[in-house]
Amino acid sequence: MPSPYRVIFTAPGARGFSAAGLLGRMPVAMLGIGIVTMVAQLTGAYGLAGALAATVALSAAAIGPQVSRTVDRYGQRRVLRPAAVVTALAVAGVTAGTVWEWPVWTLFVCAAFAGCVPSLGSMVRSRWVAIYRDRPRELHAAYAWESIVDELCFIFGPILSIGLSTTWFPQAGPLAAACFLLVGVLWLTSQRATEPPVIPHEEGQRRGSALRTPGITVVLGTLLAVGVIFGAIDVVTVAFAEEHGHPAAASLLLAAYAAGSCLAGAVFGLLRPAGPASRRWLTGVCAVTAGMVPLPFVTGLPLLAVLLFVAGLAIAPTLVTSVSLVQHMVPRSRLTEGMTWVSSSIAVGVALGAAVAGRTVDALGAERAYTVPALAGVLAAVVALLGHRRLSPTPPGPPLTGQAPGGRAATVDAEV
C-alpha cells in the first residue's frame, strides 16, 4: 500500500502550493525572535525588544483572522498580496526606525501593522480541503504533513533569523522574514488552479464570524492554554539551561521537544484514526497535560531532554485533530477564518505563557517555573473535559461542484 504522503502529492499542484506555504510561513518563526535579536544587539534593551515582539504577536493574533475572513469572502489572490505588502512595509519601518533612531512609539506603530501578516498555514490547509474534502484518509495525511512543516519552520526559522542578525547586520533577520513572506505569498497566489473557490455565505449566516460557531470556543480556549505551554516551555527551558551552566544546551533541549512533535506528526499521518474526532481530541489534550506533569521535578539536563521529547509526542496529533475539528465545525464560507483562529489562539497563549514564565523564573527560579506549563496543561484538560460534548460538525453549506448538499455532515465526526 503506498504511503499516504506519496498519495496526497499526486494531486496536480500540491507540491507547488505546499512548498510555497513552507516558504511563506517562515516569518512566523523568524520575525519575533529577529526583532528581539536586532533590538538587543543595537540597544541592549531586552524589555523594549520583548515588548516589540509581543506587539507583533498580539497584533497578528487579532488581525490575522480578519485577513482570513476577507480571504473567505474575496479569495486568496485578491487579499494575500496587499496584506503581505503591508506587513513587509511595517517590518521595513521597524528596521528603518532602528537605523535612523526614530521615536520609540513609531516602532510600536510599525510593529502593530506587521500583525497584518496572513496565515499561510491556513491558506495551504484550505487548498488541501478543496482537493480532498471527500477523501478523509488523504485529508488527514495532508493535515499531518502540514504539522510537520510547521515544526520544521520552528526548528530552522529562529536559527536562520538569529544567525543572519548576528553574523551579517542586526536588521538582517527581520528583513529576511519579510522577504520570505513576499516570495511565499507571490508564489502561492500565482497558483490559481488550486486556489479554493469563494463559497457564498449560507442563508441566515451572512453576518458574524466563525467565532459564533457552536462549540468552537471550547477548542480555541483549550488551544489558548496549550499556547501558554509553548510560550512557557521556551522561556523556562532557556533559563533552566543557563542555571545549570550550559546555556547553549537550550537550543538542543527545545529541538528535542520539536523533534518529538515532528516524529509523532509523521507517524500520525500514516494511521487511519478511528472513533469520534472529539474523543481523540480530548485524549490528545490529556496526553499533552500528562507530558507536562513531570517537568517541575526534573533536576538535570539529560533527563529534561528525554522528558521534553516524550512530551512533544502528543503535540502534533492534538493540533492536527484540532484543525480537523474546526474544519468540520465552521461553515465552508468561513473555513479559512476558522483555521486562522486556531493559530491566533495559540499565539495569544504563547505571549501570555512567555510573560508569566519569565516573571516566575525571576521569582522562583527555572526549576519551579516549570509549574507554569504544568498548570496550563491542567487548565487545558479541564476546559476540554467540560466542553468536549459540545463539539459537533456544522452543516457544510452550499456544495462544491459534484457534491450533494450535506453529503458528509452526518458522518464526519466518526470519520475525521
DSSP line for 15-81: HHHHHHHHHHTHHHHHHHHHHHHHHHHHH--HHHHHHHHHHHHHHHHHHHHHHHHHHHHH-HHHHHH
Entry pTM: 0.75
Cα(21)–Cα(123) distance, rounded to whole angstroms? 8
Q: To 10 degrees, the CA torsion angle through 394, 330, 378, 371?
A: 170
Q: With a cut of 50, say whether residue 116 has pLDDT above it.
A: yes
pLDDT in tens, 178-213: 999 999 999 999 998 888 887 765 544 445 566 677
pLDDT in tens, 52-105: 877 888 888 888 888 888 888 888 888 899 999 999 999 999 999 888 888 888
CATH superfamily of the 209-395 domain: MFS general substrate transporter like domains (1.20.1250.20)
Q: The C-alpha cell of 132 is what?
A: 480532498
Backbone angles phi, psi at 160, to 5 degrees: -65, -45
Cα(142)–Cα(148) distance, rounded to whole angstroms? 10
Report, in angstroms and rounded to the nearest whole number, the Rg of the chain calculated over CA atoms: 21
Asked if residue 317 lies in contact with residue 266, where contact means CB atoms within 8 angstroms, the answer is no
Cα(265)–Cα(339) distance, rounded to whole angstroms? 18
> What pLDDT does residue 211 have?
65
Most confident of 75-84, 239-248, 349-358: 75-84
Cα(160)–Cα(150) distance, rounded to whole angstroms? 15
Cα(97)–Cα(107) distance, rounded to whole angstroms? 6
Among 63-77, 105-119, 380-394, the minimum mean pLDDT is found in: 380-394
- Please give the mean pLDDT across all residues of the chain: 81
Cα(289)–Cα(296) distance, rounded to whole angstroms? 13
pLDDT, average across residues 365-384? 91
Q: Count other Cβ atoms within 10 Å, centred on residue 192.
A: 10
With residues binned 3-state (H G I as helix, E B as strand, rest as coil), the percentages for the chain, rounded to 5, are 80, 0, 20
> What pLDDT does residue 373 have?
93
Q: With a cut of 80, say whether residue 215 has pLDDT above it.
A: no
CATH superfamily of the 1-197 domain: MFS general substrate transporter like domains (1.20.1250.20)
Cα(158)–Cα(147) distance, rounded to whole angstroms? 17
> What pLDDT does residue 202 have?
54
For the residues of 150-179, what is the DSSP string, one character each?
Answer: HHHHHHHHHHHHHHHHHHT-TTHHHHHHHH
Backbone angles phi, psi at 133, to 5 degrees: -55, -40
- H-helix or E-strand spanning residue 204: none
Q: With a cut of 50, say whether residue 407 has pLDDT above it.
A: no
Categorize the per-residue pLDDT at 245 as very low, low, confident or very high, splitting at 50, 70 and 90: confident
pLDDT, average across residues 144-171? 81
Check if 1-197 and 209-395 are the same fold: yes
Q: With a cut of 80, say whether residue 414 has pLDDT above it.
A: no
> What pLDDT does residue 303 have?
93
Cα(342)–Cα(338) distance, rounded to whole angstroms? 7
> What pLDDT does residue 45 have?
66
> What pLDDT does residue 47 have?
66
Going from the C-alpha of 52 to that of each of 59, 208, 324, the distances in angstroms are 10, 31, 33
Residue boundaries of the structural domains of the chain: 1-197, 209-395
Asked if residue 148 lies in contact with residue 124, where contact means CB atoms within 8 angstroms, the answer is no
The torsion region of residue 215 among left (phi > 0), alpha (psi -120 to 50) and beta comes to left
Q: With a cut of 60, say whether residue 346 has pLDDT above it.
A: yes
Q: With a cut of 70, say whether residue 354 has pLDDT above it.
A: yes
> What pLDDT does residue 281 have?
86
> What pLDDT does residue 53 have?
78
- Non-local (6+) Cβ contacts of 212 within 8 A are none
- Non-local (6+) Cβ contacts of 63 within 8 A are 115, 116
Q: With a cut of 70, say whether residue 377 has pLDDT above it.
A: yes
Among 97-111, 261-275, 390-404, the minimum mean pLDDT is found in: 390-404
